[in-house]
Structure 1
Amino acid sequence: MRTFSSDGTEIAFLDQGEGEPVLLIHGFASNIVTNWVDTGWVRTLTEAGYRVIAYDNRGHGRSEKLYRLEDYGAPLMAEDACRLMDHLSIERAHVLGYSMGARISAFLGLAHPDRVRSVVFGGLGINMVRGLAGTGPIAIALEAASIDDVTNPTARTFRSFAEQTGSDLKALAVCIRSARAPLTADAVATLKRPVLVVVGDRDVIGGSADELAALIPGAEAVTLANRDHMKAVGDRKFKTAVLEFFAAVDAD
């Protein structure tokens, strides 16, 4: 694991393999290891001949923990991704984001289309433009003295996951409370690079892959059978779909 300064914020990252670069952006309360290493993504992509760059989002994993609302938000976190590419002298890359990482990937693609070869939105379908309700209860759950004090089922799931990943609960609470920049259907329709949307059919957090793909000209959608938000991450069909998608883009 290495680090670099993203406009003064220390960001931890992994850089493995050779070939066409793929940038991986993890989800909320996760990190490089949990989202991409333990699920087999880094191995799958490097064995397929790709160079894999993954980083811990600010406030997550081994990256710097920040405690002000203005230090978070998807547009700002997308700039961390762009600066990492600058740091590694990568002109453009395939981008794969999961959940919050998919939202960050969308802002990266909108702000810097020339840096994105293609983009995969994993674990986030139509709710990318509808927004995530109930962030307040999740923040409260993260700030609770004990998980035993959390009664909201969804919020308890996030608290449990944050504890499993050894996260800084205070930093995560600030992250999820931060102002959520709007991402509209009209905005995602302007994405200029090939798009693949992959979501589990039982993922109530992400919502429909088909509905989001329908908003983006030329986008493709894959729905994973019997997979919820957590179980879809390392799904074999997810990996196969992404490899086929990248190969098609590279061959074009």
Structure 2
Amino acid sequence: MPNFLSNGISIAYDIHGDGAPILLIHGFGSNGKVNWVDTGWVETLANAGYQAITIDNRGHGGSKKLYDARLYHAHDMAMDAKRLLEHLGIERAPILGYSMGARIAAFLALQHPERVKCLIWGGMGMNLVSGLADSEEIISALTAESLADVQGKTGRQFRIFAEHTGADKAALAACMVSSREPMSEMQVRDITVPVLVAVGADDEMAGSPAPLAALLPRGEAFTIERRDHMRATGDPQFKQATLEFLRRQA
């Protein structure tokens, strides 16, 4: 994978196909390949005429692993995404983010709206504002000596996923400390580009999409039926809703 330096931090990315560029930002513990290639997103977007650009967030995939929790705030990772667009000479593009990637995309739009045509937030509802209460469980699961030592359901899910993707668990634990940076309702209202908020009907982690979409000046809510947080990522309903949303913005 190619990489570039974002404020001295090596960030890996990949470019898939030709067409109008769209930046894809993955979720916590994942990477560009797992989140977007393996789930069929890259193929779907390429078939629709887009050039999918995947980024590995700091601490993930092929990017530099960091162990200082102060380096994982969502607004800092949003700057990595902005610098990637600059590095590639892309002035403005749609941004598709899932879970933590949606949070990063939100801060990118807040800090640099001139870079963002529109947003798709997958797996991120009202908890963008209200926050989540399971961070300590996830950190404990990632730092445990083995999976056998992890008891909580959510912690086990994240530990199993980290082991499946071969992730650096210590880097992920540091990331979990600060990456769930909340956004105030006032900040959400300041995001004026069109936003599609898509959340699984059985997603207990993201929060409801409708109240978050209602805060946004140009927000739309979409429910991914019969899906929870882990299984909504590559769902055909989500892909179809995203393509229709992108067509309306074009």
Task: Confirm or deny a common fold (TM above 0.5).
Answer: yes
Deviation digits for residues 83-131 of structure 1, max 9, x if unmatched? 0000000001100000000000000000000000000110011111111
Instruction: Tell me which amino acid in the other structure corresponds to 1:152.
Output: G
* Deviation of 1:166 (Å): 0.6
What corresponds to 1:223 in structure 2? 223
Q: Is the 8 A contact 2:22 2:50 kept in 1?
A: yes
* Deviation of 1:19 (Å): 2.0
* Deviation of 1:178 (Å): 2.4
TM-aligned CA distance change 1:179 to 1:45, over 3 Å: closer
What corresponds to 2:62 in structure 1? 62
* Deviation of 1:132 (Å): 1.3
Q: Secondary structure at the match of 2:205?
A: coil
What corresponds to 1:14 in structure 2? 14
Q: Structure 2 matches for 1:12-161, cutoff 5 A? A: 12-161=12-161
What corresponds to 2:176 in structure 1? 176
* Deviation of 1:246 (Å): 0.6
Instruction: Supply the distance in 2 between the matched residues of 1:227 and 1:180 (Cα, whole angstroms).
Output: 22
Corresponding residue pairs, total: 250
Instruction: Supply the distance in 2 between the matched residues of 1:179 and 1:157 (Cα, whole angstroms).
Output: 18
For the aligned residue pairs, the C-alpha RMSD in angstroms reads 0.9
TM-aligned CA distance change 1:247 to 1:132, over 3 Å: same
Q: Secondary structure at the match of 2:221?
A: strand
Q: Secondary structure at the match of 2:133?
A: coil
Structure 1 gap ranges (5+):
none
Q: Structure 2 matches for 1:158-169, cutoff 5 A? A: 158-169=158-169
Instruction: Supply the distance in 2 between the matched residues of 1:177 and 1:50 (Cα, whole angstroms).
Output: 34
Q: Which moved more, 1:17-26 or 1:98-107?
A: 17-26
Q: Secondary structure at the match of 2:13?
A: strand
Instruction: Supply the distance in 2 between the matched residues of 1:152 and 1:216 (Cα, whole angstroms).
Output: 34
Q: Structure 2 matches for 1:228-243, cutoff 5 A? A: 228-243=228-243
What corresponds to 1:209 in structure 2? 209
Q: Secondary structure at the match of 2:94?
A: strand
Instruction: Supply the distance in 2 between the matched residues of 1:52 and 1:179 (Cα, whole angstroms).
Output: 24
Deviation digits for residues 161-208 of structure 1, max 9, x if unmatched? 111111000000001012753301111011011100000000001111
> Normalising by the residue count of structure 1, what TM-score does the alignment of the two structures yield?
0.97
TM-aligned CA distance change 1:179 to 1:230, over 3 Å: closer
Q: Which moved more, 1:100-109 or 1:132-141?
A: 132-141
Q: Secondary structure at the match of 1:141?
A: helix
Q: Secondary structure at the match of 1:210?
A: helix
Instruction: Tell me which amino acid in the other structure corresponds to 1:91.
Output: E
Q: What is the percentage of aligned positions where both structures have the same residue?
A: 54
Instruction: Supply the distance in 1 between the matched residues of 2:134 and 2:237 (Cα, whole angstroms).
Output: 30
What corresponds to 1:195 in structure 2? 195
Structure 2 gap ranges (5+):
none
Deviation digits for residues 30-55 of structure 1, max 9, x if unmatched? 01111000000001101111111111
* Deviation of 1:144 (Å): 0.3
